[in-house]
Chain A
Amino acid sequence: MAGITRGFVGKRRERDPRLPPGQYDARDEWPVLHAEATPHIPTDRWTFTIEGLVENTVTWNWDEIHALPRSRYEGDIHCVTTWSKLGMTFDGVSVDTLLAAARPLPSATHAMAVSHTGYTTNLPLDDLTGGKAWVVWAADGKPLDTIHGGPARLLVPHLYFWKSAKWVAGLRLMDHDEPGFWERNGYHDRGDPWAEQRYQGD
C-alpha cells in the first residue's frame, strides 16, 4: 500500500460500486480532454474503413453504416484522468458487425484505431470483439457532440476512454501490437480501469 498522506481522509466517502479504483463520479459533467483542435466533419464526408489484415477492406459512409443493424451500450465510461460517468446510453453499431463484413485474417491480433484527426490508439482485437466495442453516433439519445467525437466515435467502455477514439475513421488490423498516440507518450497499452492500468508498467 502506498504511503499515507498526512492529514488526508478524502471527501467522497460513499463509493458507488460501479466506480473503479481511483475514479470519481463526474455526474452532470462530461469533461473534454482531446489534444488537438476539434475537427468539424460533416456527415457526408465521414467514412469508416477496416483495413490491414482482413480479407475485405471495407469502407462505410454515413448512410451505409446507418443501414447496418443498430446496437446500444448502456453503462459506464471511465477516463484515465479519474472521472467516470455512470449509466450512459450510446447508440451505433457493434464492431462485431463491422468486422464480420471485413473478415479478419487468422493472423490479426491487434488493431490500431485511427481518427480523422490522425489520432491513433492501439487495442488487442479481443477487446474489440464479443460485444465489447461499438462505433457510436448518439449519446443519451442525442447526436454525439463534436467535442465528444461526433459525428461518430469508437466506444470501448471496458477500457479507459482514450481508447474510444473520437472522430473515428477506421481500424487497421495488425499481427502485432504497436503504440498509438497516448501509448507512445507513456500511457498503458491496454488500459483496464479495474486494474488501474493508467501508465506503462501499471
Chain B
Amino acid sequence: MGTADVEAVWRIESARIVAALTRFTGDFGLAEDAAQEAVAEALVSWPLASPANPAGWLMATARRRAIDAIRRRTALQDRYALLATDPAVDEDIDPDRIDDDVLALMFVSCHPVLSPEARVALTLRVVGGLSSEEIARAFLVPVPTVQARITRAKKTIAAAGVPFELPPAGERRGRLGGVLSVLYVIFTEGSTATSGDRLLRPDVAYEAIRLARTLAALQPDEPEVHGLLALCELTAARFPARTGPDGSPILLADQDRRRWDFSAVRRGLAALAKASARGLGPYGLQAAIAAAHASAPSVEATDWDRIVVLYEALGRVAPSPVVELNRAVAVAMASGPAQALAIVDELIALDRLPGSHLVPTVRGELLARLGRRPEARAELELAARLCANQRERSVLLRKAAALG
C-alpha cells in the first residue's frame, strides 16, 4: 500500500477514530495527536507490509499512542489504570454511539470559542480527514499557518474546558447554526475564491458538500442542514458552465445550461424538498433561489417574481446588505432597472457595503441598461479597482471598455 492508500483509509476513518478516542480519553487534543501519530506510522509501515484490516490497524495504533501519552502524564494515574485494564481494542467503536460522537466532534471543531479560521482548519482536519498541506492548499495559506491554527485551537479547547458532548437542547439549534456557517465558509471559498487567479476551486467546494452530506445523514430532522446541502449542490451544479476554457468567469445569462450537472441539480432539489417540509430558513431560502435558476431554461424564462419574493423572505430572516443587493438584481429582472437602482442607491446612501466591488458592479449594470453609459462605465471601473479576484476584475474592465 502506498501513501494514497493510507490517505484513502484515513479519509474514511479519521472522524470516527478521533471521535472514539476523544470519548475514550476525554481529551480532544490528545486524541487528535494520537490519531495523527497513527497515520504517520501507517505512512511508514504500510508500504512495507499491508495490514489485513487497515481501519482496525489505525484505530488500534491510535489508541496505543493515546495510552502512551496518558502514561506520560503522572497526574492522570487513575485514568491510566482504567485504560490499562481495558482489553478491547478492535471493539472500541460502539455503532450506536459513534454517530453521536462524530456529531459531537463537529460541534467541538466548530465551537464558538475558536476563531473562524481555526474552526475551518480543525473541521477539515479532524472531520474531513485532510492533511495540513491539503488545508493550506485549499485556503492558499502557508502550511505552518494551518499547523499553528490547529495547535492553538486544541489549546483553546482544552483551556476553555469544552466538553465532548452534544450541546444541550436549548443551545443545540444555535450551535448547529455555527457548524453550518463553517461548512458554508468552506463552500464559498470553493465557489468564489476570495483570492488567487482561479474563480472556482471545486475540490474545496467538494469538501464542504461532503461534510454537509455527513451532517444531513447524522441530523436528518434539521431542515437547515438539508437547506445548506441543497444550496451547495445546486450552486455546484452550475460549476461546469461558470468558467470558460481559459478560466474566465461566464455570467449566468451567458452560461450554456446544457453543461450544468443535472444529477447535482436533482440531488439539490431532493435536499430542498426535505428542507422545505417545515419552512425554510436562510440556507433553505438561498437554496430555493438557486433552485429557481436551476429549473429555468434561460434567464428570460426564469421566474424572477418568485426570486424577488424569496429574497424578500431572506431579507426578513437574515437581513444583510448583500441580500438587498441581490434583491435589487432580481427586481431589475422582474420589474426593470429603475426600481432596482433605487434599492442600490439606498444601500449607498446608508453606506451599507463600504469598499465592496459588488455595489458598483450592480449599479454599473443597471445604469448601462438605463442607457446612462458614462456613469455606468465609471461604476464598472470603480468595481474593477475594488475587486480582489483577477478573473472577475478582467471581466469588469472588459465591460467598462465596451461602454466606450
Q: A and B bound?
A: no
Which residues of B pack against A, CB within 8 Å? none
Which residues of A pack against B, CB within 8 Å? none
